[in-house]
Amino acid sequence: MISDADINVSLFLLPVYQLIFFTILLSYFNPKKNRQKFFIGILLTILTFFLACSTSYYLGYLIIYRYCFIVHLPLFLLIIPVYYLYLNSLAGINNPLNIRKLIILFLPSASILFINIIVFSSVPEPRLEIYLSKLSAFNNPFSRLLQQVQIVGFGILLPVQIFFLIRKYLIVMKVTKTNISSNPQILSYFNIQWALLILIGVLIFIISNIIFFFISEKTILTIAFYNLLMLLSGGIIGYLGMKQDSLYNQVSKIQITHSNNKKFSRKKNQQNGNSDINDNQVEFIKNLREFLATKKTYMNKNLTTSDLAKELGTSIRELSNIINNSMNTNFHGLINEYRVMEAKEMLRRKEYANLKIEVISNKAGFRSKSSFNACFKTITGKTPSEYRDEFFQH
């Protein structure tokens, strides 16, 4: 028969495993680096370690928790500053933070970490686990100080951070919407709904942990509900963080000014910074573009670098080197460029006038409507619907 203790262990470990899964998936299986991916990766790592520390405490694993205790609350206080940096990078705000702003962002976490280290180092090792097991009892100076630090962190500093986060989020969104209105191409990858949902996920995670910390009697029902919220918030942050990163990779290297009916020339490529391109590479690029324009393999939504290299009779390494270095783009950027050109042709045809945008997207080779919209807006500055409406109005 399964005991309550076994159920508690399962409930607490599930959200931890979920966050580990998303962290590994984002960092290991998709190693391309950019600023927003760096910060969402750091955020997921912080959430994972914090939840692991909380789990060791709530399950009474004091041998483990005594090593987690010093960083437990400081990690919690890092969540909002790191999310703020992620939001800035997502919105294309790349201005470096000055020393004053960095101090304001990280001072709460650094202060609690400093106090924990001082207090922790002053306690003899044999008595440490006894004190940690009685944090709720004010029966010694150590427990009283730690309890006060926990109350200040969870009850004062975090609510202040939440207020700061919401205020900054509204400011960033206002600036971002203005930038998108003035130039839709520069932030075509930015999905405002996803950003809002990630914010909600972060707030659910933080507020749930604050409330759960102050609940004295933790029943099986409250434990189950708490961990359900951890699964929900962690799932939102991890899944949408991965989707947003994928969307960025889809559009980040699209050549906005290129048209597939233009011939590649050495002079034009030298202007883009690739002055060391040789005649063989020029010929390879010419053949590659002619192949894509005539065979239209890009309309296969499952097309991979391996598939294209096989069709061209070359190696994956050589093809990737030409695309990344000589053409100054990447596989997604090149293929999506041709898919957008194909979609533009379809949107201008009268026989396709009644087709839904999703159908056009699928026919052109895109796997999702969000990717199609982002790539299309990067090249044209308009959504597919706007582009079609304007064409037929004229």
Q: Which tens digit of pLDDT belongs to each residue from 223-248? A: 999 999 999 999 999 999 999 988 88
Among 251, 278, 312, the domain boundary falls at: 251
250/248 Cα distance (integer angstroms): 5
Q: Tell whether 246 and 270 lie within a shared domain.
A: no
Answer whether residue 116 is part of any domain. yes
**What distances in angstroms separate CA 88 from CA 23, 41, 195, one per listed residue?**
20, 15, 11
Report how many domains make up the chain: 2
Q: Tell whether 72 and 215 lie within a shared domain.
A: yes
Answer whether residue 260 is part of any domain. no
Report whether 127 contacts 120 (CB < 8 A): no
Answer whether residue 228 is part of any domain. yes
Helix 79-90 × helix 192-214 angle, to 10°? 180
Q: Tell whether 363 and 219 lie within a shared domain.
A: no
106/320 Cα distance (integer angstroms): 41
Q: Tell whether 166 and 299 lie within a shared domain.
A: no
pLDDT over 90 (residue 183): no
pLDDT over 90 (residue 207): yes
Answer whether residue 257 is part of any domain. no
Report whether 292 contacts 356 (CB < 8 A): no
Q: How many Cα atoms occupy the beta-carbon half-sphere of 4 within 13 Å?
A: 5
Residue 66's pLDDT band, with cuts at 50, 70 and 90, is confident
146/143 Cα distance (integer angstroms): 5
Q: Tell whether 183 and 273 lie within a shared domain.
A: no
User: Which pTM does this prediction carry?
Assistant: 0.81
Answer whether residue 184 is part of any domain. yes
CATH number at residue 32: 1.20.1070
Where helices occur in the chain by DSSP H, the ranges are: 4-27, 35-58, 62-76, 79-90, 99-121, 125-132, 141-152, 158-182, 192-214, 220-251, 266-271, 279-295, 305-312, 316-321, 331-347, 357-364, 369-380, 384-393
**What distances in angstroms separate CA 369 from CA 320, 363, 384, one per listed residue?**
26, 12, 10
C-alpha closest to that of 66 among 111, 120, 118: 120
23/256 Cα distance (integer angstroms): 32
Answer whether residue 261 is part of any domain. no
CATH number at residue 345: 1.10.10.60
Q: Tell whether 169 and 240 lie within a shared domain.
A: yes
Q: Tell whether 88 and 162 lie within a shared domain.
A: yes
Q: Tell whether 11 and 143 lie within a shared domain.
A: yes
390/387 Cα distance (integer angstroms): 5
199/187 Cα distance (integer angstroms): 19
Q: How many residues does the chain have?
A: 394
Among 188, 217, 251, the domain boundary falls at: 251
The pLDDT value given to residue 138:
45
Range of the domain at 147: 4-251
166/181 Cα distance (integer angstroms): 22
The pLDDT value given to residue 346:
93
The predicted-structure confidence for 90-131, as pLDDT tens digits, reads as follows 887 766 667 888 888 899 999 999 988 887 777 665 555 555
199/83 Cα distance (integer angstroms): 8
Q: Tell whether 362 and 310 lie within a shared domain.
A: yes
The pLDDT value given to residue 91:
85
CB neighbours of residue 15 within 10 Å: 26
Q: How many Cα atoms occupy the beta-carbon half-sphere of 299 within 13 Å?
A: 14
The predicted-structure confidence for 23-39, as pLDDT tens digits, reads as follows 998 876 665 678 888 99
Answer whether residue 227 is part of any domain. yes
Q: Tell whether 109 and 201 lie within a shared domain.
A: yes
The pLDDT value given to residue 95:
64
Among 251, 280, 295, the domain boundary falls at: 251
Q: Tell whether 118 and 234 lie within a shared domain.
A: yes
User: Average pLDDT in the 140-154 region?
Assistant: 75
Q: Tell whether 245 and 386 lie within a shared domain.
A: no
